[in-house]
Amino acid sequence: MSAKILQNSIRIRRTPFSDRVENSGLTSVTVYNRMLLPTVFKSLEEDYYHLKNSVQLWDVSVQRQVEICGKDSSKLLKMLTPRNLSDMKPNQCFYIPMVNRNGGMVNDPVLVKLEEDRYWISIADSDVLLWVSGIVSGLDLDVSVFEPDVFPLAIQGPKSRKLMSIIFGSNIEKMKYFDLKEFTFNNHTLKIARSGWSKQGGYEIYVEGYKYALDLWDELMSNGKDLDVRAGCPNQIERIESGFLSYGSDMTIENSPFECDLGRFCGPEIELTCIGAKALIKEKLEGPKQIIRYLQIDGPKLDPINKPFMLVDKTSKVGSVSSCAFSPDFNTNVAIGMVDTDYIKNNDQVEALIGDQKRLTKIMDKPLNRKLRAFSE
């Protein structure tokens, strides 16, 4: 980085890859789970086009793991999420809403089942470790809860499968979305998931400890030269047009899974063992008062925002926008926001109030980019 963005402090944790990332043209970072997360390298649009056409290495160590192991693991997880986990097998990943007793979203992690009675919760930006530890202590459950030394490294983009097969062999090409399998690298066993926070295709390597982290980074970079590999990061434009929700931006602990349009992850019947079951069952019957919707906003290009703006019907507020960006591929401003459910029953358009200007806004129940992209050959 050419300019200091954050004051140096050991309170903000570095990762095994921080030195490599900073020497790869990093221009902007944020703090996520008290750890550095890259946000821009060349520019938001240049990074966007590169992600959609080539392959990138993402240091997403910020996706901290909360390990749960012990005979009460399954019992504990049934309390944490309304999603039915009875069919989950070892070496699978499930996206789960985690809720409190009011049905509010504590986090929206990926649950990784390593073996019977041993799991990793791969978390978004909130303190799940403290939340889960409190429940375990209060109920005296026979389970260990801790943060292991695991640093996810994502390989994303249409050429990611080609790069990964060079390093790990052709068996990696057989993985289905949200599969988890073990591969070897320099005599180390690595857990790799077919997953990632983009719709451009990719994998996430769960790097355990520092020992081989830099060797792995360098090997991927060296073997990916002909594929135009580059250091990258989750891209704000791509994630909004793809409909990926950001915890802390598009949803908070004040929102329920039904408000976040995640009701499909609550199952047809919500088990009473879930901490938030009573509140969620009531809301499922009555319906949420507001819901996440995907938006197209007319007018000049919009930059990403750091505070929400209102959606209005004449002079009445009917919602708010939490994320927005201009999408070059769709040639429109794309956004995510909460809209009153009573309003959208009879309306598919609204006005976004940006400063003192109103812009016509289309309301959609699906994002513009709906499909996971196929790998390039």
Domain regions of the chain by residue span = 18-63+149-239, 65-146, 245-364
Q: Which CATH code for domain 245-364?
A: 2.40.30.110
Chain segment 272-294, per-residue pLDDT in tens: 999 999 999 999 999 999 999 99
H helix count then E strand count, the chain = 9, 21
Sort residue 186 into left (φ over 0), alpha (ψ -120 to 50) or beta.
left
Write down how long the chain is. 377
Q: Which CATH code for domain 18-63+149-239?
A: 3.30.1360.120
Q: Rounded to whole angstroms, how far apart are CA atoms 169 and 357? A: 55
Looking at residue 320, its pLDDT comes to 98
18-63+149-239 and 65-146: same fold? Answer: no
* Residue 63: both structure tokens together: 């996706």
The list of the chain residues with pLDDT below 50 reads: 1-3
Short-list 180, 196, 191, CA closest to 239: 196
Q: Which residues touch 281 (CB under 8 Å, ≥6 apart)?
A: 270
Find tokens 């309003």 and name the residue. Answer: 343
Chain segment 92-116, per-residue pLDDT in tens: 999 999 999 999 999 999 999 999 9
Q: Report phi then psi at 67, rounded to 5.
A: -90, 135
Q: Which one-letter DSSP state was computed for residue 196? A: -
Q: Report phi then psi at 369, rounded to 5.
A: -100, 100
Q: Look at domain 65-146 and name its CATH class.
A: alpha beta
Q: Which residues touch 3 (CB under 8 Å, ≥6 apart)?
A: none
Looking at residue 327, its pLDDT comes to 98
Q: Rounded to whole angstroms, how far apart are CA atoms 51 and 65? A: 25
Which strands make up the sheet holding 144-146, listed edge to edge?
92-95, 110-115, 118-122, 65-69, 144-146
Q: Is-contact 210 187, C-beta < 8 A?
A: no
pTM, rounded to two decimals: 0.96
Short-list 290, 284, 283, CA closest to 342: 290
Find tokens 């201009």 and name the residue. Answer: 326
Looking at residue 372, its pLDDT comes to 86
Q: What share of the chain is helix, strand, coil (3-state, %, to 5)?
A: 25, 35, 45
